[in-house]
Structure 1
Amino acid sequence: MRSTMEPTGRPRVVMLVDNTVDGDSRVQKAARAMADYGWDVHLIGRSTTPAPEEYALGAATVHRLPLEAVPARKSLLDRAMRLRFPLMYKNNGLADVVQRDVGISKTEEVQRSFAPGARARGVLPRPMRDLAGKVRRRFLQTRVRQTRAGFRWRGRRTHGRLQTFDAAMWKALAGNGAWRRLDPTPLRYDVTYGPLIEALRPALVHAHDYRMIGVGARAVARARSRGERVRLLYDAHEFVPGITNPAGSRWLASQTLYEREYFKCADAVVTVSEPLADLLVAEHGLAERPAVVLNTPPRTPSAAPAPGVRAACGLPAETPLAVYCGGAAEPRGLHTLVGTLALLPDLHVALVINTLDSPYVQGLVATAEAAGAADRLHLMGYVPYAELPAFLASADVGVHPLRRGPVNHEVALSTKFFEFLQARIPVVVSDVRAMSEAVADMGIGESFASEDTADLARALTAVLVAPETYRKPYTDPDLLDRYTWEAQAEHYETLYHRLLD
């Protein structure tokens, strides 16, 4: 049996991603498609187990590696926290262990007082041991309290002036290279993935998303230093300066500087939407506009109405059913969709989501219960991406209530938008720019004011009253063919040949 590391006679492509591959439909589709085109594709991702993993994904090979550690970098905020709370433990997990130890110590003291037959003899008299135990417990509890207070204090200042100053100081000292001091996480991927990339000796490194651009650029530089001819393709999945993250301004500054340092190392850039391509040109002063590969689903032979989400909900054909698929988090605006259950008494809502028991999802359930509509909210787990359009097709409308404001929301043409399209169901989206414009241009649905439950109810009513108006554009086969993964993957194939021929 041939080793996956041996040359195959075909040009070898190494794709890089910073996740576990599972759940990343774009990366999976890219690896499968380019392997089907005849490239020798190896996809490297992160493992959640201590041992490396390898498996086939279609004709591609997936390698998952456990991340190596690199020295952590303390921020000014971390140092200020330790000065203010000098007795705190390094994390809350350790404080939990110590708190349990305090409880054990207290139990031992109670035993000595009230279970004399079980007393353990010692050198010190019992009163002295009890006193020493009390002193020790009081000290440990002080440390536990400082730990809790310290991390609360830090959490309130994640987006504060000290973090901003910290980032500005390192940027002034080290320029784009300041990310090494602010957040060296990319170096973990570099030391983990680098040896395997070198062993695979690719002709092309395809770096997916911003965290991989530096890993790919450094691997390509090392290969070129050995006299190898290697190209780098950067697949920009989002606009990094526009990322919203609870880690704060220091973290965001680090990611932005990191991408900026390596951006122009790429021999070509591809991205996920036309508006994002425009932003990348403006942000990085690109002479050549990035190619666009939309994150569309694979071609489906039909959008048969059953079995599917309607059957999973146990609903008859005449019951109005709205569906959402994707991540369940507050920025996705699912609370706005669930809120319409109180305004539309016949409507059922199905959420095909990544988690069924998070605090946010529990809040959605509570909202439905408060409206007396718990039986009209249906929660279910993810469906494989290749099956999803057919699964969604029995719904009356697909809804994406994404919150307005963040740049990446405004420029997104999300996967679920195209999954609704391939399911041939009407689409209702919030008034984020790219998707609301696409819905209006195609004539396949309505948009509503973000986080306005009443306006979403209006848009849903318009679609449910006249569904054929919004389904009519799907009778044009060119519309559906243009937005399939098979059509989009041709852009990758063109880019690969341009870089390597």
Structure 2
Amino acid sequence: MLTDDVQIDRRILLEAESLICQGNEVILLAMSDGGDRAFETIGNVKVERVSGNELPYSEMVVLKVFNLYFKFIAFAFSFINAISQIIANRISSKIGRILFFLSRKTNSAFVLLGYKLRSTLILLHKRLRKLSTHERFILQRALFYRPDILHAHDLPQLKVAAYASNKFKIPLVYDAHELYPEIASLLPVQKRKLSSLEQKYIKRANAVITVNSYIADEMCQRYKIAKPTVLLNATNQPEYFDNAKKYDLFRNELNIEPHKKVILFQGWMSKQRGLQNLVRALAAMPNEIVLVFMGYGEAKSELLDIAIDLGCVERVYFKDAVPQSELLYWTASADIGVIPYQAIDLNNYLCSPNKLFEFIQAGLPILANDLPYLREVVFGEGFGVVSSLDSPEEYAEGLLTLLDESYYQKCKEQLSLKREKYSWREQEHTLFEVYDSLTHAT
């Protein structure tokens, strides 16, 4: 498996663990976090960390050869210079100066030739590979393990995985976690380049997986491929999680009074996720409603400033992100989960975020923006309320609807009845079917 992740996505680890339980060995090549650990084990998954600046072994050999070449030239120049000096002392100084001049010219010519050869060979190597330095190193590490199947997680790893797949004539799985070329933070030129790259290399994949049917349909239409297999971003409850228990970790740690209702946003606090209006909505709602943000992000200071300006700062709490193994216990300690993703790009519009499945497994009624997949699950399954979350008023209306005792209990009942449908235990069978089709084909 190949990923550009440093903080490895839950989906990747769950897929790897499932394949390991089926008797496979999984090696995950992931990006380095800047530490000194090149190898680690996460659960049962073997992880090799790679940085973005290593050179492939073949290029390192070339560089070493040329370093030896330059050392030889330096030695030869020193030797010739010494001989010239000896001759100059024994015969006329004019001849010595001529020999010294010729030795310098010869040395310069050899050095220049060496540099040109070195540059030409490395440029030729790059053009033949058509891969960046980082991609060539990833290719080298992937080939080192001599895999039977390659699994590329998201678009940044698709190209190098396609090269490795072709090199060993082995199946390639492309796992698109999102509609990558449509991410809003990308420049138009980057979007065009990534879309072209995906168009070219997706057809080399033996199987394509993505996270929901809407993205699958879009990829099918866009790239003229068979509809990708849908594998949801589902998760499982921890082993000792108790559905009947009321967890109170937020109330205990943040000193929130027992009677207050906790509204939770968890994940990255981006300025583009509509969180500002969520805080503004709080100011117009009853005092027993409080808001907890759990995670990190650049919007934190802005959210705090809004709460101060509106006089509701004592009802807004921040909690650092917690390990994945603890997450659901914290999630279940809230009363309502909010998914406010705004339709700022096609990728967000078609999203099915991890937090949706975390809320489901924690039994948390959900307020979500009215986006296609969120509407299908949250409203369609009776897990909560979807609304066009474009203003504080819409947030407030949605939350108050959800907090109605009768409506709230109906949502809790539906979550209890249907949560297994959205568990990883149910989803992993789809992954096994994909892999079975590849192994039978080979």
TM-score bracket for this pair, using the shorter chain length: 0.7 to 0.9
Matched, 1:433 2:375: no
Give the conservation status (yes or no) of the 8 Å contact 2:250–2:256.
no
Corresponding letter in the other structure for 1:292: V
For 1:263 and 1:363, how far apart are their aligned partners in 2? 40
Aligned position for 2:157? 212
Deviates more, 1:203-212 or 1:342-351: 342-351
Give the conservation status (yes or no) of the 8 Å contact 2:154–2:180.
no
Alignment of 1:182-261 (within 5 A): 187-224=132-169, 230-245=170-185, 247-261=186-200
Extract structure 1 runs of 4+ deviating beyond 3 A: none
Aligned position for 2:61? none
Matched, 1:302 2:242: yes
Corresponding letter in the other structure for 2:280: G
Aligned position for 1:19? 5
Partner of residue 472 from structure 1, selected from 393, 396, 413:
413
For 1:255 and 1:244, how far apart are their aligned partners in 2? 13
The verdict on how the C-alpha distance between 1:435 and 1:19 changes in structure 2, with shifts beyond 3 A counting, is: same
Q: Identical aligned pairs, as a percentage?
A: 25
Deviation at 1:469, TM superposition (A): 2.4
Deviates more, 1:47-56 or 1:487-496: 47-56
Corresponding letter in the other structure for 1:194: L
Give the conservation status (yes or no) of the 8 Å contact 2:370–2:387.
yes
The verdict on how the C-alpha distance between 1:400 and 1:492 changes in structure 2, with shifts beyond 3 A counting, is: same
Aligned position for 2:336? 397
Could you say what secondary structure the match of 1:475 adopts? helix
Give the conservation status (yes or no) of the 8 Å contact 2:208–2:229.
yes
Deviation at 1:272, TM superposition (A): 0.5
For 2:349 and 2:404, how far apart are their aligned partners in 1? 28
Matched, 1:343 2:284: yes
Aligned position for 1:157? none
Give the conservation status (yes or no) of the 8 Å contact 1:323–1:349.
yes
Could you say what secondary structure the match of 2:20 adopts? helix
Query: Cα deviation per residue 1:477-501 (whole Å; 9 max; x = unaligned)?
Result: xx11111112212211221121013
Deviation at 1:345, TM superposition (A): 3.5
For 1:54 and 1:307, how far apart are their aligned partners in 2? 37
Corresponding letter in the other structure for 2:293: L
Query: Cα deviation per residue 1:176-221 (whole Å; 9 max; x = unaligned)?
Result: xxxx99xx9x724421211111110000000000111111001111
Partner of residue 292 from structure 1, selected from 230, 234, 241:
230
For 1:320 and 1:299, how far apart are their aligned partners in 2? 23
Give the conservation status (yes or no) of the 8 Å contact 1:210–1:259.
yes
Aligned position for 1:412? 351
For 1:48 and 1:471, how far apart are their aligned partners in 2? 39
Matched, 1:323 2:264: yes
Corresponding letter in the other structure for 2:14: K
Give the conservation status (yes or no) of the 8 Å contact 1:211–1:259.
no
Deviates more, 1:254-263 or 1:187-196: 187-196
Matched, 1:369 2:308: yes
Corresponding letter in the other structure for 2:3: V
Could you say what secondary structure the match of 2:151 adopts? strand
Deviation at 1:299, TM superposition (A): 2.9
Partner of residue 275 from structure 1, selected from 199, 202, 214:
214
For 1:402 and 1:364, how far apart are their aligned partners in 2? 16
Could you say what secondary structure the match of 1:428 adopts? strand
Matched, 1:56 2:31: no
For 1:18 and 1:308, how far apart are their aligned partners in 2? 33
For 2:354 and 2:188, how far apart are their aligned partners in 1? 28
Give the conservation status (yes or no) of the 8 Å contact 1:321–1:348.
yes
Deviation at 1:51, TM superposition (A): 5.3
Alignment of 1:475-494 (within 5 A): 475-476=416-417, 479-494=418-433
Corresponding letter in the other structure for 1:49: G
* TM-score, reference length from structure 1: 0.69
Query: Cα deviation per residue 1:280-299 (whole Å; 9 max; x = unaligned)?
Result: 1101111x321111111223
Give the conservation status (yes or no) of the 8 Å contact 2:237–2:362.
no
The verdict on how the C-alpha distance between 1:441 and 1:380 changes in structure 2, with shifts beyond 3 A counting, is: same
Corresponding letter in the other structure for 2:380: D
Query: Cα deviation per residue 1:394-431 (whole Å; 9 max; x = unaligned)?
Result: 21100011112421122112110111111111100011
Give the conservation status (yes or no) of the 8 Å contact 1:269–1:290.
yes
Aligned position for 1:314? 255
Deviation at 1:270, TM superposition (A): 0.5
Could you say what secondary structure the match of 1:260 adopts? helix
Could you say what secondary structure the match of 2:324 adopts? coil
The verdict on how the C-alpha distance between 1:51 and 1:425 changes in structure 2, with shifts beyond 3 A counting, is: closer
Aligned position for 1:382? 321
For 1:284 and 1:348, how far apart are their aligned partners in 2? 46
Give the conservation status (yes or no) of the 8 Å contact 2:263–2:334.
yes
Give the conservation status (yes or no) of the 8 Å contact 1:397–1:425.
yes
Gaps in structure 2 of 5+ consecutive residues: 56-125
Give the conservation status (yes or no) of the 8 Å contact 1:338–1:367.
yes
Gaps in structure 1 of 5+ consecutive residues: 1-14, 71-179, 225-229
Aligned position for 2:121? none
Partner of residue 68 from structure 1, selected from 53, 59, 62:
53
The verdict on how the C-alpha distance between 1:354 and 1:29 changes in structure 2, with shifts beyond 3 A counting, is: farther
For 1:236 and 1:395, how far apart are their aligned partners in 2? 31
Corresponding letter in the other structure for 1:41: V
Could you say what secondary structure the match of 2:429 adopts? helix
Matched, 1:45 2:30: yes
Alpha-carbon RMSD across the aligned residues, in angstroms, is: 2.0
Aligned position for 1:156? none
Report the structure number with the largest CA radius of gyration: 2
Could you say what secondary structure the match of 2:247 adopts? coil
Give the conservation status (yes or no) of the 8 Å contact 1:50–1:66.
no
Deviation at 1:442, TM superposition (A): 0.8
Could you say what secondary structure the match of 2:367 adopts? strand
Corresponding letter in the other structure for 1:242: E
| Number of residue pairs the alignment of both structures matches | 362
For 2:291 and 2:312, how far apart are their aligned partners in 1? 10
Deviation at 1:317, TM superposition (A): 2.9
For 1:475 and 1:48, how far apart are their aligned partners in 2? 38
